[in-house]
Every structure is written in structure tokens, then in C-alpha cells.
């Protein structure tokens, strides 16, 4: 199983001083992939800069995600556990998290994951993309946390819209 070249086309580049080449390939499953080679040094450098910026942003998002998690754990985890204290069964814990829109899986996924404790599950919910809902539920007003969450969400949404644009480009 391999990829066959279907077409090779050269177009004027973005700055207009050079070109880029697009090679379209198809495999046995009719999947198409496109390779783009920038032949213009100016545009090539620009593309590399964009790529580096993406890598930096991704790194920054990873760092923020970790920082948010540990900061929350240090300062608010007891409060977060207390939020679930009235939930007397596993199912009730899941329902609480669903009502708060902080869980992403179904009830059966939840049952299939073997959590050593409900506290483990509850801790895992405290991710940067759930943090706004959690902060609202716990009535947390913390500028340090808010700042980090906002920056993380901005990077996250940027990455998300880029993934969608990329998908449209390929299909």
C-alpha cells in the first residue's frame, strides 16, 4: 500500500516574488494528502516563523495547563471535593459533574474507567478547560487563576480553530 502522485502544481507564492509547489497524492483507500513546498526564501522563512510560533504556543499551553492544575490542587481541592459531598453514589458524582458540564465522557465510560477513588475522578475534572465552570460553581474569585485560565483558553481556542481550518483545507 502506497501513495501515488496525482498532480504537481506550482503557484505564485504569497509575497508574489516566488512560487510554491503542491504535490497531491492518493492512496489505495482514496485518501488524499497534499505536500506543499515553498520555493520562495521570503515565504519559506515566514512559514518557519509561523511554525515556530505554533510550537511556542503549544508549549505555553502545556505549561499553563500544568500550572493551573497544581495551583488549583494547592488552593481549592478541598473546596472542590466538598462540592461533591452530598453525592452519595458514584452515579451521583457523575451527575454532578455532568450538570456542571465539566465531564466529557458518558456514564458507561465513567464506569469503565477504574478510578481508585471518587476523589481521583473529581481531581481529574479540574482541567484548564473546565476551570471557568468550576470557578463559577465554587464562587472562586482569584485573579491569578483567572489570568492563567484566560490565557490558556485563548491558546486552546486558537489551536482548535486552526485544526478546523486545516481539516477544511484537506477535504
Residues at the contact surface with Zn ion, assessed by CB under 5 A: 13, 15, 17-18, 40, 42-43
Q: Smallest gap, in angstroms, from Cβ of residue 49 to Zn ion?
A: 13
The C-alpha cell that represents 27 in the structure block: 492512496
Q: Closer CB to Zn ion, residue 15 or residue 55?
A: 15
**Backbone φ, ψ for residue 86 (5° rounding):** -80, -10
Q: Closer CB to Zn ion, residue 6 or residue 15?
A: 15
Specify burial of residue 97 (Cβ count, 10 A radius: 0-12, 13-18, 19+): buried
Q: Smallest gap, in angstroms, from Cβ of residue 61 to Zn ion?
A: 30
Q: Smallest gap, in angstroms, from Cβ of residue 70 to Zn ion?
A: 44
Q: Smallest gap, in angstroms, from Cβ of residue 20 to Zn ion?
A: 8
Q: Closer CB to Zn ion, residue 15 or residue 163?
A: 15
Q: Closer CB to Zn ion, residue 13 or residue 65?
A: 13
Sign for the CA dihedral angle at 33, 38, 43, 46 comes to: positive
Amino acid at each position: 500500500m502506497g501513495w501515488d502522485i496525482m498532480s504537481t502544481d506550482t503557484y505564485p507564492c504569497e509575497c508574489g516574488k516566488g512560487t510554491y509547489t503542491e504535490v497531491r497524492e492518493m492512496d489505495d483507500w482514496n485518501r488524499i494528502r497534499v505536500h506543499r513546498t515553498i520555493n520562495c526564501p521570503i515565504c519559506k522563512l515566514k512559514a518557519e516563523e509561523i511554525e515556530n510560533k505554533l510550537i511556542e504556543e503549544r508549549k505555553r499551553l502545556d505549561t499553563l495547563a500544568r500550572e493551573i492544575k497544581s495551583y488549583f490542587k494547592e488552593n481549592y481541592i478541598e473546596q472542590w471535593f466538598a462540592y461533591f459531598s452530598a453525592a452519595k453514589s458514584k452515579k451521583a458524582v457523575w451527575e454532578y459533574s455532568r450538570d456542571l458540564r465539566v465531564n466529557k465522557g458518558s456514564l458507561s465510560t465513567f464506569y469503565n474507567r477504574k478510578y481508585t477513588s471518587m476523589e481521583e475522578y473529581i481531581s481529574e475534572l479540574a482541567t484548564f478547560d473546565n476551570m471557568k465552570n468550576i470557578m463559577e460553581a465554587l464562587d472562586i474569585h482569584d485573579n491569578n487563576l483567572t489570568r492563567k485560565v484566560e490565557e490558556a483558553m485563548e491558546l486552546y481556542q486558537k489551536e482548535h480553530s486552526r485544526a478546523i481550518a486545516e481539516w477544511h483545507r484537506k477535504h
